[in-house]
Chains A and B, each alone.
Chain A
Amino acid sequence: MTTELEVGLYIFMLAGFLGYHIITRVPPLLHTPLMSATNAIAAISLVGSLVVAGSDYSHVPNGWVCTLLGFVAVTCSSTNAFGGFLITDRMLRMFKTAEERARGTRRPVELQAFALVAAVVAAVAGILYTTRPAGMAMGEYLHEHVAAEALRYCYILSAGMFVLGLKGLASPKRARAGMSLAAFGMFVAVVGTLFHPHIVTYRWIGLGFAIGAVVGGTMGLRIPMTAVPQRTALSHSLGALAACLVGVSEYFRYQGALDRVTLTALDFEVVVGGLTFTGSLIAAAKLQELLRGRPITYRGQNVLSLGLLSVIVASGVYLVVTQAATAFFYVMVGLALVFGLLLVIPIGAADMPVVIALLNSYGGLADAAMGFVLMNKIQIITGSLDGTSGFLLALFGAFGRVSEEAVAAAAEAKGSVRSIAPEETAVLFETARNIVVVPGYGMAVAQAQHAVAELGNILKERGVDVKYAIHPVAGRMPGHMNVLLAEANVPYEQLHEMEAINPYFPEADIALVVGANDVTNPAAKSNRSSPLYGMPILEVDRAKSIIVLKRSLRPGFAGVDNDLYYNERCMMLFGDAKDSITKLISEMKSLL
């Protein structure tokens, strides 16, 4: 017979795999929103907290302790839920699509979401109304008969919406809609839980919610983009605290008289929750520069940490073996809190993005453990998703992907950078008559010359005038672009040198910049303090619209930021140049 535990483990494992596949598809550009999104979704620990805060403890000695812990947990989790979704949405709003730009408005995502919510609520109410047995009061019917059944389906529905929501982050275009879906999923799960049969009082739940909404809402709406990393760390710490407290409350309630499986999960939950709580607090403090950013080290550091860890593990094992109430449990929680401090203190502020991602992963695991304790499947799923995404983001961060925080900060500081997808780019090319291609070293590195030439040929066949603008110092050797374009059979007549092409840019419908950076930087003309000042550039910024193919917002050879990217007519097509053009070509063909 399949036990609940087995089912839980299967779910945990499969959700992990699913998380891996979804998250590896998220472009680096969206890693920061991804982190806050998983963070927000992980606030599903709220459902566990709700039950704990609202349960009937009249038969438990000192039952108010449980209620209090549950209340704090509800406050923390709801802060995360509100704050997390709001800030994710703010980040995603920085990516506008061409269509939105063309219409000058954003797509009304909120309206659509609201309509969806209203429709679903109406449908559910209708079904309930018609299925209600004659003569039974609606309230009684809901509480006694529907709640437990409906809750399961609510959870399944929200799990689906969370997964789809995360999947939306694979493209900037669908990211906001995805997040609205995930937020709706959260709504469904929370509302469903409010009808949980164990919940007898709403007093503490309501209060916790109110505080969470105010604090989380303020955070989500007011925090500057540059402080996003700190906020994420803080929110991990709140989430972990909630997990830890729910665990403590459960232990207190049953005084350790639980089966060994539950106890194991509970140990894990409070220990990982506890260390993530203090670790994240330290990380946030370092990023906010409340603590010194440089690594703090002392003698015997490793011995102390390892010693502490072994005591924690030993206590955990002892608890599982004895299955009884003992002070060891609280010692273990205390040590876990200390261990979290020790873990993060020796790490410098520069490495914090990786640490935060890793703590995100721990927070997820604590949530999943909570799911096992309460046998709540949706918490197992989201905990597993969160754990995987945090772990992957830590890996990406550790291997030197772009620092997304830096990108977001730069974008906030200088105005927004617009990102565009190959599909949208293809539509723009449909209407263009004159196109200037500006190749650079990025084209060479991506070996995209053949793709560029193919694109040029397709456009030519459609009667578009295609010119290639070659800057005298494009690439890393004289004639670098010539060698590559010749290899791809671009005719010499289409190549134009800088002086000849510059007056033509204002006539160009699209300037397509393929991996060129410094040679297009308008700062060379206008900014006296720029190291590029005085270098003649290709005046790409005068074209009617500009599309830049680039891997990231990383600066070029001269190490300076390119003002071109913040130009209102400029759109960034992020990714490997060769991939992007290949996609663009297939989109253009499919439009025919």
Chain B
Amino acid sequence: MKVAVPREIAPGERRVALVPDAAAALVKGGLGVLVESGAGEGAFHADAAFEKAGARIVPDAGTLYAQADVVLKVQKPALGEVDRLREGAVLISFLQALTSPDLVERLAARRITSFGMEGIPRISRAQKMDALSSQANLAGYKAVLIAAETLAKLFPMMMTAAGTVFAARVLVIGAGVAGLQAIATARRLGAQVWGYDVRAAVKEQVASLGAKFLEFDLGIADAEDKSGYAKALPAEASRRQQEMLAEKTTEFDVVVTTALVPGRPAPRLVTKETVAGMRPGSVIVDLAAEAGGNCELTEPDQVVVRHGVTIHGPTNLPATMSVHASQLYARNVSELVRELVKDGALALDFDDEVVRGACVTHGGAVMNDAVRAALAARKSA
């Protein structure tokens, strides 16, 4: 069975789905590994390193796809890439399946067995495959560095002969993996940090990193779904949340937003009025830019200055840390491959929670309930 790693073609993507160490582990497990020449370049892994790990270098994508049984990718494939896959091949990648109906239909049409890394369930056993977490973790870290770099102030407090500089006040909205890492990083840089999340259970987690929790009463019980992700709020609660957040947000120098609801546009938490109310010189880093942004003025992949506030809308921060991002992602996909391939052949068990969660298409059909529902909703609309 041949596992193939093409070069990522999305602009700005510097990660690679497999690093030499991970490739060596798969080879040791009895799989053949093919790597497109130059695939590891963005993550500083030369072809020679892959060869040393036991992989075979293939000169171009065409040759690679023609031989591949299993294709490992980072970014969701372009439709053209799907067309190059052999019929019946396996694809493991981020797919954004809930919001990419055309891609899902094409994968089904070409009878690809596809796995979306975003569908790995959040259960103890599957944590080693949880690529959303491994990548969000890096994004949270980098978001704070960008904020620190942009802010025309210091993060830590300093009492000096020339007077006292007060610590920057940082608010992190959405305390998922990215949010928690942002909190931890901002704390380590010396800022005063507050966290906020609609899920009440997260308060303890924010406190466990030594930060404070911003609290206000939304008049609802809790907004956590059974797998630990946030649910969309009812309209009234959503309006109150916006009002109260708006009032608080203006007190901060740095606001990092990470609020995402799976398969839906990101919740609007920072309106343009709120931005106008913030102190000039403040910085917003919006990690939800790709899903429409938590801030109304965010522009994806742009840095804009509105009312004196600098707003970053990065959509692919993990790619800026391609070495470690690739290392962690490679571990995630390798673990999934190990789950799926038994004795050199694909062994799919649709009773397994991991397979059921991550498998999007198989044998021409859409296997995932949530994705099927999303497709049906689009058809009827």
Which residues from A are CB-within-8-Å of B356?
none
Cross-interface CB contact of A487 among B128, B177, B210, cutoff 8 Å: B210
- In A480-494, which residues have CB < 8 Å from any B CB? 480, 483-484, 486-487
| Chain A hits for B208, CB < 8 A | 441, 444-445, 447, 475-476, 480
Tell me if B240 is interfacial: C-beta within 8 Å of chain A.
Answer: no
Give the shortest distance, in Å, between B184 (CB) and chain A (any CB).
4
B124 beta carbon closer than 8 Å to chain A: yes
Q: A441-B208, A445-B208, A477-B180 known; A487 and B188 CB under 8 Å?
A: yes
Question: B134 within 8 Å of A by Cβ?
Answer: yes
**Interface flag for A125 (CB, 8 Å):** no
Distance in Å from the Cβ of A509 to the closest Cβ of chain B? 29
Q: Which residues of B contact A473 (CB under 8 A)?
A: 124, 127-128
Residue B209, interface by CB 8 Å: yes
Q: Which of B125, B128, B137 contacts A477 (CB 8 A)?
A: B137
Which of A220-228, A243-251, A531-539, A568-576 interfaces with chain B? A531-539
Whether B188 and A483, one on each chain, are in contact in the complex, defined by CB atoms closer than 8 angstroms, is yes
A534 to chain B: closest residue by CB: B125
The residues of B that contact A367 with a CB separation of less than 8 Å are none
Report the bound CA distance from A441 to B184 in whole Å.
Answer: 14
Q: How far is the CA of A534 from the CA of B128 in the complex (A)?
A: 12
Q: How far, in angstroms, from A441 to B206 measured CA to CA in the complex?
A: 12
Instruction: Establish whether residues A477 and B124, one from each chain, have CB atoms under 8 Å apart when the complex forms.
Output: no
- Which of chain B's residues 191-211 have a Cβ closer than 8 Å to chain A? 204-205, 207-210
Which residues from A are CB-within-8-Å of B188?
Answer: 483, 486-487
Whether B133 sits at the interface, judged by CB under 8 Å, is: yes
> Closest chain A residue to B127 by CB distance?
A473
Contacts of A307 in B (CB 8 A): none
Decide: A531 near B180, CB < 8 A? Known: A447-B210, A478-B133, A478-B134: no
Contact B127 A483 (CB under 8 A): no
* B368 CB–A CB distance under 8 Å: no
Give the number of residues in B that approach A within 8 Å (Cβ atoms): 20
Residues of B within 8 A of A472 (CB): 127-128
A535 to B128, CA, bound (A): 9
Task: For chain B, residues 125 to 141, give those with C-beta under 8 angstroms from any C-beta of chain A.
Answer: 125, 127-128, 133-134, 137
B152 within 8 A of A: no
A351 CA to B210 CA, complexed, in Å? 35
Chain B residues, CB < 8 A from A17: none
Q: Is the CB of A531 within 8 A of B137?
A: no
Whether, in the assembled complex, A10 has its beta carbon less than 8 Å from a beta carbon of chain B, the answer is no
Shortest distance from the beta carbon of B224 to any chain A beta carbon, whole Å: 13
Complex interface bits, A465-508 against B, C-beta within 8 A gives 1, otherwise 0? 00000001101111110011011000000000000000000000
Cβ of B123 and Cβ of A531 under 8 Å apart?
yes
Q: Contact between A477 and B210 (Cβ–Cβ < 8 Å)?
A: no
Determine if B113 is an interface residue (Cβ-Cβ < 8 Å). Answer: no
A518 & B124 in contact (Cβ 8 Å cutoff): yes
Which B residue sits closest to A443, measured CB to CB? B208
| Cβ B124 vs Cβ A558 within 8 A | yes
B124, B128, B134, B184: residue with the most chain A Cβ atoms closer than 10 Å: B124
Evaluate contact between B207 and A445: CB separation under 8 angstroms: yes
B181 at the A/B interface (Cβ < 8 Å)? yes
Q: Name the residue of chain B whose CB is nearest to the CB of A473.
A: B127
| A contact residues, range | 20 to 34
- Residues in B with CB closer than 8 Å to A475 are 208
Interface string of A521-553 (1 = CB under 8 A from B): 000000000011111000000000000000000
| Nearest chain A CB to B297 CB, angstrom units | 28
A535 to B188 CA separation, bound complex (whole angstroms):
31
For the complex, give the distance between the alpha carbons of A484 and B188 in Å: 10
- B204, closest chain A residue (CB): A445
Q: Does A557 contact B (CB under 8 A)?
A: yes
Q: Is the CB of B181 within 8 A of A477?
A: yes
Contact with A along B61-92 (1 / 0, CB 8 A): 00000000000000000000000000000000
Q: Please indicate the chain A residues that have their CB under 8 angstroms from the CB of B181 in the complex.
A: 477-479
Query: What residues of chain B lie closer than 8 Å to A480, measured between beta carbons?
Result: 180, 184, 208-209
**With A478-B137, A479-B181: A444-B209 Cβ-Cβ less than 8 Å:** yes
Pairwise interchain contact B204-A535, C-beta atoms closer than 8 A: no
B208-252 Cβ-contact flags toward A at 8 Å (1 or 0): 111000000000000000000000000000000000000000000
| B124 touches which of A441, A476, A535 (Cβ 8 Å) | A535
On chain B, the residues within 8 Å of A557 by CB distance are: 124
B124 touches A483 (CB 8 A): no
Shortest CB-to-CB span from B194 to chain A, Å, is: 16
B-side contacts of A533, CB under 8 Å: 125
- Map CB proximity to A onto B155-191 as digits: 1 under 8 Å, 0 otherwise: 0000000000000000000000100110010011000
Provide the bound-state CA to CA distance between A535 and B124, in Å. 7
User: Given A447, A477, A534, which contacts B184 in the complex, CB threshold below 8 Å?
Assistant: A477
Closest CB-CB distance, B206 to chain A, in whole Å? Answer: 10
A532–B159 Cα distance when bound, in Å, is 50
For A483, the chain B residues whose CB sits under 8 A away are 184, 187-188, 209
Bound CA–CA A158/B209 (angstroms): 51
Q: Which of B125, B137, B210 contacts A535 (CB 8 A)?
A: B125
Give the chain A neighbours of B204 by CB distance below 8 A. Answer: 445
Q: How far is A557 from B205 in the complex, measured between Cα atoms in Å?
A: 12
How many angstroms from the CA of A476 to the CA of B130 in the assembled complex? 13
Check B180–A476 contact: CB distance below 8 A.
yes
Report Cα–Cα, A533/B188, bound state, in Å.
36
- CB-CB under 8 A from A477, the residues of chain B are 133, 137, 177, 180-181, 184, 205
- Residues of A within 8 Å of B123, CB to CB, are 531
CA of A484 to CA of B177 in the docked complex: distance in angstroms? 16
A355 to B331, CA, bound (A): 53
Instruction: Find out whether the CB atom of B124 lies under 8 angstroms from the CB atom of A532.
Output: yes
Q: How far is the CA of A317 from the CA of B174 in the complex (A)?
A: 61
Q: In the complex, which residues of chain B have a beta carbon less than 8 angstroms from the beta carbon of A441?
A: 208
Q: List 9 A-B contacts (CB under 8 A).
A: A441-B208, A445-B204, A447-B208, A477-B180, A477-B181, A478-B177, A483-B187, A487-B188, A531-B124
**A-B residue pairs, 5 tightest by C-beta:** A444-B208, A477-B180, A478-B137, A483-B184, A473-B127
Q: A478-B134, A531-B123 are in contact. List 11 more A-B contacts (CB 8 A).
A: A441-B208, A447-B207, A472-B127, A477-B184, A483-B209, A484-B209, A487-B187, A518-B124, A531-B124, A535-B124, A557-B124
